[in-house]
Amino acid sequence: MSQAPAAAPAKKKRRFPSFSVQILLGLAVGVALGAVALAMGPQDADGEVPNGLTTTLDTIGSSFVTLLKAVVPPLIFTAIVASIANLRTVTNAARLAGQTLLWFAITAAISVAVGIGLGLLFQPGNRASVSLDAASEPGRTGTWLDFLNGLIPGNVLGLGASTQVEVTDGGASASTSVSFNVLQILVVALVIGIAALKSGKKADPFLAFNRSALAIVQKVLWWIIRLAPIGTAGLIGYAIAAYGWTSLASLAWFAVAIYVGLAVVLFVVYPVLLRTNGLKISSYFKGAWPAIQLAFVSRSSIGTLPVTQRVTERNLGVPSEYASFAVPLAATTKMDGCASIYPAISAIFVAQIFGIDLSVTDYLLIAFVSVVGSAATAGLTGAIVMLTLTLSTVGLPLAGVGLLLAIDPILDMGRTAVNVAGQALVPTIVAKREGILDVEQYEAASAEDLFVDEDDDASSEETTGATATDETAGATPSGTKEPVGATA
């Protein structure tokens, strides 16, 4: 007598809104609190001491970004070592790396072309009402040697320390801060991963430990990401309270040109590239949107890196063996917002402010720096550093950078969102072209899948009735995938 099939387990009722809705709610709360803090004004007449609400919002937002950044070094190291160890299943690793770099250059070239076109169309320098008295030399500049300096690690952890000395009437005080260089950690992890691969069975205990460490880091990361709506409220609230929108008045046309350029790349160029490669546009934005949202409010590609990697793997269907290499590399060198659109329009702005005519050669130099310059400034992050490299290469006054600093935080939100969107886009396109993209997972992209707890996954698998005897009987597990790099 045949048994009736077991009923499918009932779906759990969602107790909370989806993650994207939570981010939007945090954004709305942040805007409201930021408006209140802005209306309250500073505590002192000179405007130097922020009020309590502004300070609280700053503390909440910066603490969340600090937590995200804290998990980045172990995540990158363990994920890349694990991906190198999985190279046994990758038949075209060199081709994947080459295609990734090629698409970095293609999207950067298109973005800088958009930036130059909008700079010539909007003429932001000729329409600005800023005074040249505000021009000042930047405190840090980018050079073509920065790539080599950032590529060679000073220590095995890829850490650096900087000390600031403040001299006052009462004496001098020094404060030391420790930071990490993502590119150096990437290099160290690649070297150790390759060494482990070449060591054969002797490295098996180390690789097993690394896989365990990666699982633990990912679990901690899941907990931190859950705090994103609260962090969003603090970040956007502080941005409004600290900067407001009054500073946009004198540079309105420049800001409009930047945001129009960012919108064109994000909502026109990227969709065209997706459709050209046979990918649904709606699935990409649905899957990548959590990372894009977080990038907008956090203003940090590195801080958003854990989320970017998660959406690329879980939502967009890129194999983790490839994504764990491509996404950290992209977070360091792939910046369509900061390294392409922004320096192109800014260079034209500075030239117009100082009355300097740019030739066709100058525009070609701007395009060249934007395509390859992000790698040159990989050791020094920030759009301002990229801008100084562009201006110095073209021969424009670096003092023009000081004119743009007043509204840089406002522009940085949009720039970082486009950066992160591109960092998820390129691995997705390359994976699709190489036949290793999980198309079904991509088309079913859901932000909710990003935060499925591994414990819940395990318990749900048990309730489906799958047992070890099913596999030994010859059934293929539903989660089995083709080896990365296998032909489609």
Taking the alpha carbons of 381, 387, 388, 393 in that order, is the dihedral positive or negative? Answer: positive
Angle at 307 between CA 445 and CA 209, to 5 degrees: 110
Residue 417 three-state SS: helix
| Helix, strand, coil in percent for the chain, rounding step 5 | 70, 5, 25
Listed in sequence order, the residues at least 6 apart from 224 whose beta carbon sits closer than 8 Å to its beta carbon are 64, 67, 68, 71, 306
Do 74 and 213 touch, CB atoms closer than 8 A?
yes
Please report, in tens digits, the pLDDT of each residue of the chain (488 residues total).
445 555 545 555 556 677 778 888 888 998 899 889 888 887 766 667 788 888 999 999 889 888 888 888 888 888 888 878 776 666 677 788 889 999 999 999 999 999 999 999 998 888 776 655 555 555 555 565 666 666 677 766 666 666 666 666 666 666 666 667 777 888 888 889 889 888 888 999 999 999 899 889 888 887 888 888 898 899 888 888 877 666 666 788 898 999 999 999 999 999 999 999 999 999 999 999 989 988 998 888 887 888 898 899 989 999 988 888 888 888 878 888 888 899 999 999 989 888 888 889 999 988 888 888 766 665 555 677 788 888 888 888 888 787 787 788 888 889 999 999 999 999 999 999 999 999 999 998 766 656 655 445 444 444 444 444 444 343 433 333 444 444 33
User: What is the pairing mode between strands 159-168 and 171-180?
Assistant: antiparallel
Q: What is the pLDDT of residues 427-468, one digit of tens each?
A: 999 999 999 999 999 998 766 656 655 445 444 444 444 444
Q: What is the pLDDT of residues 312-364, one digit of tens each?
A: 998 999 998 888 888 888 887 888 888 889 999 999 998 988 888 888 999 99
CA neighbor of 417 nearest in space, from 324, 319, 285: 285
Burial track 80-109 (b if 16+ CB lie within 10 A, e otherwise): bbbbbbbbeebebbeebeebbbebbeebbe
159 φ, ψ (degrees, to nearest 5): -100, 150
Do 407 and 258 touch, CB atoms closer than 8 A?
no
